[in-house]
Amino acid sequence: MDLKTTYLGLELANPIVVGACPLGTSVDSISALEDAGAAAVVLPSLFEEEIMAAARSAMEMESAGAGFAEASSSLPNPDGYHIGPGQYLDHLQAAKDAVKIPIIGSLNGTSVGGWTNYSKKMEDAGADALELNTYLLPFDADETGAEVEQRTIDIVAAVKGAVSIPVSVKLSPFFSSLPNLAKRLGEVGADGLVMFNRFYQPDVDIENLDVVPNLRLSTADELRLRLRWLAVLSAQTEMSLSATGGAHSAVDVIKAVMCGAHSVQLVSALLIHGPDHISRTLEAMSFWLTEHEYTDLRQMQGSLSLSKVENPKAFARANYMKMLDSWEM
């Protein structure tokens, strides 16, 4: 079965992309993902805070060694100490040398200069595309929703002005008018949207009076939010769309593609089942498509987009009413 798709202008053998996760930190792991059938890999995000912290640590060590000759012998060798994004870029280059599938760099910046500077470095290191991980949490009561949106748009515009490779934007679902934001991102040059970023909620330790991180893997129930917005946005944009969060099985991938996804990112399912889960998923997809007499993946792509119904607004309202009546004991 022909499962080929086009995402961010990249011709992929199938729609399964490995999302940013620990599996992308090792070249051996990336090679295993390629062998299992992954069509592309998104590297874990490079965080600007980590880059700045590394630079500060290096300067502090250099200052400490300068004043005390005996202290310098206990400090790391400067030649082996990675300042800034060097280690990340070395890993990106090594991954590109090791595999044939596209490698997508991921970046989470804190300043426009940081976004553009490191995006360009990733391009120079050989990234086939970029994924901008715009993890913005507005805490300022004086900052309006429009200002938060404009921050995102300004970041994308700046990065597109700095690089020539495709750029996707990983969004949260919590914007007041996602279709309008998508339209404006397209106008400043975004090549694709990744839906959605998962906002990791901290837990509270009531015994130690502390706030603690508590990562939980996604479940298939989370896919529904992605399916809705894939169906809505695929009817209104020419940008590539990628689903991330909640896809665990062949059926999940098929649902996302039917709603308009050009790629589907797997993370939690691979952390649970390992890289071979990709080959099993692809095999199950091919079987389903054959059984349902599809000639290729593209034939079903977007078949459940809202563009396929005569009155999308009426369709959404009707679905809302049906949902309220569908609950059973």
Q: What is the pLDDT confidence band of residue 67, given thresholds at 50, 70 and 90?
A: very low
Three-state DSSP class for 154? Answer: helix
Q: What is the pLDDT confidence band of residue 328, given thresholds at 50, 70 and 90?
A: low
Q: What is the pLDDT confidence band of residue 311, given thresholds at 50, 70 and 90?
A: confident
pLDDT tens track for 233-243: 999 999 999 99
Of residues 80 and 115, the one with the higher pLDDT is: 115
Range of the domain at 304: 5-325
Query: Is the CB of residue 11 less than 8 Å from the CB of residue 26?
Result: no
Strand partners, 18: 41, 266
Query: Is the CB of residue 194 less than 8 Å from the CB of residue 171?
Result: yes
Structural domain count of the chain: 1
The arithmetic mean of pLDDT across residues 81-87, rounded, is: 60
- Backbone phi and psi for residue 159, each to the nearest 5 degrees, phi listed first: -65, -45
CATH of the domain at 209: 3.20.20.70
pLDDT tens track for 125-175: 999 999 999 877 788 899 999 999 999 999 999 999 999 999 999 999 999
Percent over 70 (pLDDT), the chain: 87
Confidence at residue 100, expressed as pLDDT on a 0 to 100 scale: 98
Distances, alpha carbon 187 to alpha carbons 74, 132, 173, 234, 241, in Å = 53, 16, 20, 16, 16
pLDDT tens track for 18-33: 999 999 999 999 999 9
Q: Nearest 5 degrees, angle CA 302-CA 306-CA 311?
A: 150
Q: What is the pLDDT confidence band of residue 206, given thresholds at 50, 70 and 90?
A: very high
DSSP state, 213? -
CA 244 to chain centre: 7
